[in-house]
């Protein structure tokens, strides 16, 4: 999954021949899972039609302050457009538009939107080689750079003029790859390794039966995705579940029993920076596993259980540089129990789930949690989707790690 998935990308098209490539660029962004809106300078419509770009982006294309098709009674709100965008990508960026951007000129909708946008701005210059090298263009580059705008450098090759040199707009695939790499590079967990456990464990009784629980694994998978969205390399050790993730930074390590989860987690713990144990691990397992299916005989049947190894506790004992997070599912004296676990298992943070809260716990897509930190800070949260809870948790971890 691309880091651009679900991002709102505003594509600004200006009047250069490379504008014809923006059809392909829009396709690439869509393929990456982004939402696209396009804003064009009036002159760029001579190079590619708004109809092409609106069809491909599945959104109206904006090129003037008012909507001509609507007798100019509809105001195209540049502020809204600028604020909608998570990223503003201007491709191709002509010398003219860059100079206007650099100097605060605001004589078309694209430029007004540029001045209104608060998000990161990328621009992919495209022009003839002498224009590209011109001092005035360099001044534009420097000024835009000083505003924090990011240049996607032009490449060398044959230009529309027939001359060969620098000035060709980067290819659409390369523009997308450049932006993805740039975002990843700046993410707060870039280069960090995060272990997440998820789902239930199944403890075998015989070849066909097991003791398990109703954990869906959803919370753990959401945490793994949230950590990966911050740039972390995630090792997701999961018990049996139907959950899936296609995030390129998440590697799923499927396990079945508590012992397998223990072994797999310990394999990766040494080099990890953060470990978040959200799995509902069985606390007990059958002492004996029958090698053949157990036949029914007496009217009652007793299974002797023995304790499984406490993965979280063992990680707490071996803790080095890792930031360790546990979960506690409680029904009474919640805070007291959770704080007790935080201390006894040597955790940095514990996520408390109270079964008394409606919408929290197993099998639902929402959760209501309280974070308790090592310094005894208690942070209560509203009932939220598990995806939101996962984001809140990662934010809280980042805050604590950087404190």
- The footprint of ligand CTP (CB under 6 A) covers 197, 258, 277, 279, 281, 283, 308, 310-312, 326-329, 341
Q: Which two three-digit tokens encode residue 368?
A: 């209501």
**CB 240, min distance to ligand CTP, A:** 15
Residue number with CB closer to ligand CTP (128 or 222) = 222
Judge contact between 198 and 221, C-beta under 8 A: yes
Nearer to ligand CTP, 260 or 273 (CB): 260
- Asked if residues 261 and 218 have their Cβ atoms less than 8 Å apart, the reply is no
Looking at the Cβ atoms of 329 and 401, the one nearer to ligand CTP is 329
Q: Is position 345 annotated in a ligand binding site? A: yes
**Least gap, CB of 258 to ligand CTP (angstroms):** 5
> 348 among the known binding-site residues?
no
- CB closer to ligand CTP out of 81 and 342: 342
Phi, psi of 46 (to 5 degrees): -75, -20
Q: Which residues of 171-201 are buried (b: 16+ CB within 10 A; e: fewer)?
A: bbeebbbbbeeebeeebebeebbbbbbbbbb
| 327 labelled ligand-binding | yes
State the DSSP H helix or E strand holding residue 227, giving kind and residue range, or none if neither.
Answer: helix 218-229
Identify the helix (H) or strand (E) that includes residue 264: helix 258-269
Residue 186 labelled as part of a binding site: no
Q: What tokens were used for 266?
A: 């310990």
The DSSP annotation for 159-173 comes to -TTS-EEEEEPPPHH
Q: Which two tokens stand for residue 359?
A: 């919408």
Nearest approach, Cβ of 300 to ligand CTP (angstroms)? 25
The region, left, alpha or beta by phi > 0 then psi within -120 to 50, assigned to residue 217 is left
Q: Return the closest-CA partner of residue 313 out of 303, 326, 302.
A: 326
Are 397 and 325 within 8 A, CB to CB? Answer: yes
HSE, CB side, 13 Å, CA atoms: give it for residue 291: 0
Is 70 annotated as a binding-site member?
no
E strand intervals along 272-387:
274-277, 284-286, 305-307, 323-330, 349-354, 366-367, 369-373, 378-380, 384-385
What would the DSSP string read from start to end of 374-391?
A: TT--EEE---EEHHHHHH
Nearer to ligand CTP by Cβ, of 190 and 268: the residue is 268
The residues carrying an active-site annotation are 213
DSSP class of residue 95? H
In the complex with ligand CTP, the residue whose CB is nearer, 154 or 224, is 224
- How far apart are the C-alpha atoms of 155 and 359, rounded to whole Å? 54
Nearer to ligand CTP, 174 or 273 (CB): 273
Q: Which residue is nearest to ligand CTP (CB)?
A: 311
- CA dihedral of residues 76, 77, 78, 79 (deg, nearest 10): -170
Binding residues are: 283, 293, 327, 341, 345
Annotated binding site for CTP: 283, 293, 327, 341, 345
């Amino acid at each position: 999954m691309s880091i651009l998935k679900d991002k709102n990308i505003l594509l600004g098209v200006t009047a250069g021949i490379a504008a014809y490539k923006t059809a392909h660029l829009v396709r690439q962004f869509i393929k990456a899972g982004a939402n696209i809106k396009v804003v064009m300078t009036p002159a760029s419509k001579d190079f590619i039609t708004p109809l092409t770009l609106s069809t491909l982006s599945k959104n109206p294309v904006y090129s003037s302050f008012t909507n001509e098709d609507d007798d100019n009674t509809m105001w195209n709100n540049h502020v809204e457009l600028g604020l909608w965008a998570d990223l503003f990508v201007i491709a191709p960026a002509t010398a003219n538009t860059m100079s206007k951007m650099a100097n605060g000129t605001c004589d078309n909708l694209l430029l007004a939107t540029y001045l209104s946008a608060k998000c990161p701005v990328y621009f992919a210059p495209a022009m003839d080689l002498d224009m590209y090298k011109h001092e005035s263009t360099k001044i534009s580059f420097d000024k835009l750079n000083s505003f924090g705008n990011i240049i996607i450098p032009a490449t060398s090759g044959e230009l529309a003029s027939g001359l060969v040199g620098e000035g060709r707009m980067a290819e659409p695939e390369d523009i997308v790859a450049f932006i993805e790499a740039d975002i990843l590079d700046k993410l707060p967990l870039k280069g960090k390794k995060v272990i997440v456990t998820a789902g239930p464990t199944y403890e075998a009784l015989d070849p066909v039966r097991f003791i398990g629980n109703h954990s869906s694994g959803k919370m753990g998978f959401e945490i793994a995705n949230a950590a990966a969205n911050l740039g972390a390399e995630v090792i997701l050790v999961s018990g049996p579940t139907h959950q899936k993730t296609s995030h390129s930074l998440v590697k799923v390590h499927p396990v079945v029993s508590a012992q397998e989860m223990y072994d797999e987690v310990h394999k990766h713990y040494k080099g990890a920076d953060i470990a978040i144990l959200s799995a509902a691990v069985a606390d007990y397992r059958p002492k004996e596993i029958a090698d053949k299916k157990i036949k029914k005989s007496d009217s009652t049947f007793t299974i002797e259980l023995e304790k499984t190894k406490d993965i979280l506790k063992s990680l707490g004992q071996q803790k080095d540089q890792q930031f360790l997070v546990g979960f506690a599912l409680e029904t009474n004296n919640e805070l007291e129990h959770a704080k007790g676990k935080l201390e006894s298992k040597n955790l940095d943070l514990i996520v408390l789930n109270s079964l008394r809260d409606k919408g929290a716990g197993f099998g639902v897509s929402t959760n209501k949690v309280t974070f308790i930190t090592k310094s005894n800070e208690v942070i209560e949260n509203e009932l939220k989707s598990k995806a939101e809870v996962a984001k809140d948790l990662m934010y809280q971890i980042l805050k604590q790690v950087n404190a």
